[in-house]
Amino acid sequence: MVRRVEKSDDEWRASLTSEQFRVLRRAGTEAPFAGEYTDLEDEGVYACTGCGATLFSSATKFHSGCGWPSFYEPIEADAVTEETDTTLGMTRTEVRCATCDGHLGHVFPDGPPPTGLRYCINSVSLQFDPAEE
Ligand code: FE
C-alpha cells in the first residue's frame, strides 16, 4: 500500500524552494538542459523532492536528448500515477508522485526497450541518492 503525504500549499511553500513549489505543486516545467540530473550517469536512485519516496533508478535512465532526465520505467509501478493532461493545446500524460501527488513530468510513447516509454522528469522534482560503493 502506498503511503500518502498531504500538506497545504502554505506547508509546501515552507518546505520547498520557489522553483520546487512551481514545478511540484503547480505542474511547472524547468528549462530544458538546465536541470542538474539531465546528463548524470551515476548509479543510484532518484527520490521525490516533495516527500522522499523512491521513484526512479539509474538502471532505467537513458540519454533521450530531450533536455530532461529520462527513464524507461518507474522503480515500482505504483510509485507514480499517470493522468491525461490537455494543457498547452496538447494531449500528454502527466506523471505524478503517488505518495504526495507532486508533479514530476510527462511520459511519452517514444522510449527505448523494454517498455518503449520515456518518462521525461524535471530534475527539481528529484533528489539523487548515490548507490553505496
Ligand atoms: Fe512525492
Beta bridge pairs of residue 129: 45
Cα of 80 from ligand 1 centre, angstroms:
9
d(CA 53, CA 69): 17
**pTM to 2 decimal places:** 0.95
Supply 87's cell numbers: 494543457
Cα of 131 from ligand 1 centre, angstroms:
20
> How does residue 3 score in pLDDT terms, banded at 50, 70 and 90?
confident
Cα of 5 from ligand 1 centre, angstroms:
7
Is 51 noted as a catalytic residue in this protein? no
Supply 70's cell numbers: 529520462
d(CA 124, CA 48): 9
Catalytic residue among 48, 51, 100, 120: 120
Cα of 8 from ligand 1 centre, angstroms:
14
Task: State pLDDT tens for residues 46-93.
Answer: 999 999 999 999 999 999 999 999 999 999 999 999 999 999 999 999
